Chain A
Amino acid sequence: MSNRLKTTFAGVEFKNPVVLASGTCGFGRELNEYFDIERLGGICSKGLLDHPHGGNDGIRIWETASGIMNSVGLENPGVDAFIENDLDWVNSKNLVNIVNLGGHSLDGYLKGMEKLNGVDLDILELNISCPNVKSGGMNFGTKTEVAREIVRKIRAVCRHKMVVKLSPNAENIVSLAQMCEEEGADGVSLVNTFLGMAVDLKKKAPVFNNVYAGLSGPAIKPIALRMVHQVAKAVSIPVMGLGGITTWEDAIEFIMAGAAVVQVGTATFMKPDISMDIIAGMERYLEENGYESIEEIRGIL
Chain B
Amino acid sequence: MGKVQSNEALGEGFYLMRVEEKNNARMGQFYMLRAWETYPVLSRPISVYDADEESVSFLYKVVGKGTELLARLQAGDEITLDGAHGNGFPDLADKKRIALVGGGVGIAPLYLAAKTYKKENPQCIVDIYLGFSGKTVLTEEFESVCDKLTVNVGGFVTDDIDPAAYDAIVTCGPTVMMKVLYNKCVKSRTAAPLYVSMENRMACGIGACLVCSCRTSDGNRKVCKDGPVFLGSEVFNIE
| A residues apposed to B, CB below 8 Å | 23-26, 30-31, 33-34, 46, 54-55, 57, 59-63, 65-68, 70, 72, 75-76, 217-218, 246, 266, 268-270, 272
A218 cross-chain contacts in B, Cβ below 8 A:
38, 41
Q: Please count how many residues in chain B sit with their CB below 8 Å of the partner chain's CB atoms.
A: 25
Contact partner of B65 (CB less than 8 A), chosen from A46, A59, A63, A266, is A63
Contact between chains at B210 and A75 (CB < 8 Å): yes
A68 cross-chain contacts in B, Cβ below 8 A:
41-42, 203
Q: With A60-B201, A63-B65 known to touch, is A269 a contact of B207 (CB < 8 Å)?
A: no
Contact between chains at A61 and B202 (CB < 8 Å): yes
Q: Is B7 an interface residue (CB 8 A)?
A: no
A63 cross-chain contacts in B, Cβ below 8 A:
40-42, 65
| B residues apposed to A, CB below 8 Å | 34, 38-43, 65, 82, 201-204, 206-213, 215, 219-220, 225
Contact between chains at A30 and B208 (CB < 8 Å): yes
Contact between chains at A26 and B209 (CB < 8 Å): yes
Contact partner of B204 (CB less than 8 A), chosen from A54, A60, A67, A272, is A272
A25 to B220, CA, bound (A): 18
A288 to B40, CA, bound (A): 32
B41 cross-chain contacts in A, Cβ below 8 A:
63, 66-68, 217-218, 266, 269-270
B225 cross-chain contacts in A, Cβ below 8 A:
30
B145 to A: closest C-beta gap in Å:
33
Task: Name 22 interchain pairs, CB-CB below 8 A, sorted by A.
Answer: A23-B210, A24-B204, A24-B208, A46-B210, A54-B215, A54-B220, A60-B212, A61-B201, A61-B203, A61-B211, A62-B201, A63-B42, A63-B65, A66-B39, A67-B41, A68-B203, A70-B211, A72-B211, A217-B41, A269-B43, A269-B203, A270-B41
Contact between chains at B207 and A75 (CB < 8 Å): no
Contact partner of A26 (CB less than 8 A), chosen from B65, B208, B212, is B208
A23 cross-chain contacts in B, Cβ below 8 A:
209-210
A197 to B80, CA, bound (A): 31
